[in-house]
């Protein structure tokens, strides 16, 4: 009702279970994953800086993963210790804004990486010409620009809504769907915008990725040597694994039936983006990318 409408100054993050023992166990487990995320992605970033031959876009993916985790996880860990349940309206808005920017940027970046793999496998002799430094920098800048533009648009529309008290967010961070549930007005326009952005940033890039890999598959089928098959699959396997995990969870969370209605499902899927995926990406790439493994061996020899 209009009597309960308030200009919110802070939100309460309900987080996970109220059981102290369980919260302590979750704190230890999430702390390990967060440390692995920071160290793994920082290592990949350092390797790429030391060896210019490595994947340029992988560097940006590592930056995104570090930003993902650092945006949400520290406050979640404080919440698990009972020290950070409240968050200011400005802090909540910042979490929403940054989360959307990083998520939308990664959607575009993964599509760009699939195009990079397509050029490397289908046009290897022209790769250096097509994927020049200027082209790579432009594609990376476009990915960040689209993420910033549409993330800012969604966040600004959501944060200008009136909210009803008590402002309790049934989540471990200010996720946009969880915050919209507290609005005192109709949020249909916001949800339609979220769905439209999902179509543009999930389905369209995913279609481009599938087209790229169909061309790659056609090229692979023309390779007769077993060594050529193995090299091609090792190059593309890591990217396909990350794409499947990222887009599958995002589509299920924001476009699946009943999206935005189950807080438990939202928390689990958000944990995947905040901790699981960022901690797995360096492991996936280091195990399946020959250049990354060679760079790591060189770094060990230098020491």
Task: Give me the CATH number covering residue 245.
Answer: 1.20.1070.10
| Upstream peptide bond of 166 is cis (omega within 30 degrees of 0) | yes
Let me know if residue 293 belongs to a domain.
Answer: yes
Q: Using CA atoms of 73, 263, 189, 71 in order, give the dihedral in degrees to the nearest 10.
A: 0
Let me know if residue 2 belongs to a domain.
Answer: no
Let me know if residue 131 belongs to a domain.
Answer: yes
Cβ pair 205, 274 in contact under 8 A: no
pLDDT at position 1 is 41
Tokens of 118: 């397509």
Per-residue pLDDT of the chain (303 residues; tens, 9 = 90+): 444 444 667 888 888 877 788 888 989 999 999 998 999 888 888 877 776 555 788 888 889 989 988 998 998 888 888 776 888 888 999 999 999 999 999 999 989 988 988 888 888 888 889 888 899 999 999 999 999 999 999 999 998 888 876 788 888 888 898 898 888 888 888 889 998 998 999 999 999 988 988 888 888 777 666 666 666 666 666 667 778 878 888 888 887 666 555 567 778 888 887 888 888 877 776 655 566 666 666 666 665
Q: How many folded domains does the chain comprise?
A: 1
pLDDT at position 233 is 66
Contacts of 247 (CB under 8 A, 6+ apart): 107, 110, 202, 205, 206, 209
Q: Is 11 helix (H, G, I), strand (E, B) or coil?
A: strand
pTM score: 0.86
Let me know if residue 3 belongs to a domain.
Answer: no
pLDDT at position 6 is 47
Let me know if residue 63 belongs to a domain.
Answer: yes
Q: Distances in Å between the alpha carbon of 94 and those of 87, 161, 293, 303?
A: 11, 15, 37, 40
Q: Is 167 helix (H, G, I), strand (E, B) or coil?
A: coil
Q: Distances in Å between the alpha carbon of 276 and those of 23, 245, 269, 282, 287?
A: 18, 10, 10, 11, 17
The residue range of the domain holding 130 is 10-301
Let me know if residue 174 belongs to a domain.
Answer: yes
pLDDT at position 104 is 93
pLDDT at position 56 is 80
């Amino acid at each position: 009702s209009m009597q309960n409408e308030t200009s919110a100054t802070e939100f309460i993050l309900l987080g996970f279970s109220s059981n102290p023992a369980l919260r302590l166990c979750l704190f230890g487990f999430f702390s390990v994953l967060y440390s692995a995320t920071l160290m793994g992605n920082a290592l990949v970033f350092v390797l790429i800086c030391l060896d210019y031959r490595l994947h340029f876009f992988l560097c940006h993916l590592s930056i995104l993963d570090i930003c993902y985790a650092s945006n949400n996880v520290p406050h979640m860990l404080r919440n698990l210790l009972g020290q950070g349940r409240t968050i200011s309206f400005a802090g909540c808005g910042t979490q929403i804004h940054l989360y959307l920017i990083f998520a939308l940027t990664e959607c575009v970046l993964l599509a760009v990486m699939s195009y990079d793999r397509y050029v490397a496998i289908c046009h290897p002799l022209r790769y250096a010409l097509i994927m020049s430094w200027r082209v790579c920098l432009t594609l990376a800048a476009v990915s960040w620009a689209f993420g910033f533009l549409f993330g800012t648009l969604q966040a600004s529309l959501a944060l200008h809504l009136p909210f009803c008290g008590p402002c309790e967010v049934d989540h471990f961070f200010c996720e946009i769907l969880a915050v919209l549930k507290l609005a005192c007005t109709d949020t249909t326009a916001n949800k339609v915008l979220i769905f439209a952005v999902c179509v543009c940033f999930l389905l369209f890039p995913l279609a481009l990725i599938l087209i790229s890999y169909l061309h790659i598959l056609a090229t692979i089928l023309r390779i007769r040597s077993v060594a050529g098959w193995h090299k091609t699959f090792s190059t593309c396997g890591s990217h396909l694994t990350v794409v499947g995990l990222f887009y599958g969870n995002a589509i299920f969370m924001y476009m699946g039936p009943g999206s935005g209605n189950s807080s438990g499902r939202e928390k689990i899927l958000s944990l995947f983006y905040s901790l699981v995926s960022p901690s797995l990406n360096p492991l996936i790439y280091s195990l399946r990318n020959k250049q990354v493994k060679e760079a790591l061996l060189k770094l060990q020899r230098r020491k």
